[in-house]
Amino acid sequence: MRFPLLSLCLLGLMIPAAAGAEEAGPAAEPLRLELKLARARVYPRMPVPVTVTLMVRDAQLRGIGYPRLSHRSLQVGEFSLPAKRELVLEGATYTAYDFTTVVSARQSGSYRLGPAELEADLVSPASGAAAFFGATESKPVALKSQPLALTVLPVPMQGRPDGFSGAVGRFTVSVSARPREVSAGDPVTVRTVIRGEGAEREFSCRPIEARGFRGYPPVQEKGAGELVCEQLLVPETGGAAEIPPVRISFFDPSAGRFGTAQSEALALRVRATAAAAVQSDQSDRSDSSDRSDRSDRSDRSDKSDKSDKSDKSDKSDQASAFWLALSALAALVAAVLLCRRLRRQTPPSEDGRQGWLAAARSAHASGDASAFYGAAFRLLQRVGGERQGLPAAGWTGPLPEGAFGREQQESLAELLARCDRVRYGGETPQPEQMAADMLLLEQAGSPSAARENI
- Residue 13, pLDDT above cutoff 50: no
Question: What one-character-per-residue DSSP string does 188-199 give?
Answer: EEEEEEEEEEE-
At 10 the pLDDT is: 32
Q: What is the pLDDT of residues 420-430, one digit of tens each?
A: 888 877 888 88
In this predicted structure, the answer to whether residue 25 has a pLDDT above a threshold of 50 is no
Can you list the positions of beta strands (E) in 90-238?
A: 92-104, 109-113, 116-125, 136-144, 148-152, 169-178, 181-183, 188-198, 213-215, 219-223, 226-235
Q: Are 119 and 141 in contact (CB under 8 A)?
A: yes
Question: CA angle, corner 404, sides to 383 and 217, nearest 5?
Answer: 70
- The pLDDT mean for the chain works out to 77
Which residue intervals of 202-349 are DSSP H helices? Answer: 274-307, 312-344
- Read off the amino acid at residue 96: A
Whether the pTM exceeds 0.75: the reply is no
H helix or E strand, kind and range, residue 76: strand 75-76
Cα dist. 286→183, 214, 243, 304, 337 in Å?
A: 25, 28, 33, 27, 12
Has residue 103 got a pLDDT over 80?
yes
440: pLDDT strictly greater than 90:
no
The region, left, alpha or beta by phi > 0 then psi within -120 to 50, assigned to residue 134 is left
Q: How confident is the model at residue 15 (pLDDT cuts 50, 70, 90)?
A: very low
| Banded pLDDT at 379 (limits 50, 70, 90) | confident
In 3-state terms, what secondary structure has residue 405? coil
CATH topology for 26-152 is Immunoglobulin-like (2.60.40)
Which of these, 76, 83, 202, 68, lies nearest to 145 by C-alpha position? 68
Q: What is the pLDDT of residues 158-184, one digit of tens each?
A: 888 888 888 888 899 999 999 989 898
175 neighbors 228 (Cβ within 8 angstroms): no
Closest CA to 281 of 393, 450, 394: 394
**pLDDT score at 344:** 42
CA angle 158, 161, 166 (to 5 degrees): 85
Q: Check if CATH label 2.60.40 holds for domain 169-271.
A: yes
Structure letter (DSSP) for residue 242: E
Cα three-residue angle 141-147-148, rounded to 5 degrees: 145
Q: Which residues contact 409 (CB under 8 A, 6 or more apart)?
A: 399, 401, 402, 403
Q: How confident is the model at residue 244 (pLDDT cuts 50, 70, 90)?
A: very high
CA separation for the pair 19, 42 (Å, rounded): 50
In 3D space, the residue among 173, 196, 169 whose CA is nearest the CA of residue 254 turns out to be: 169
SS3 at position 134: coil
pLDDT digits (tens, 9 = 90+) for 68-83: 998 878 889 899 999 9
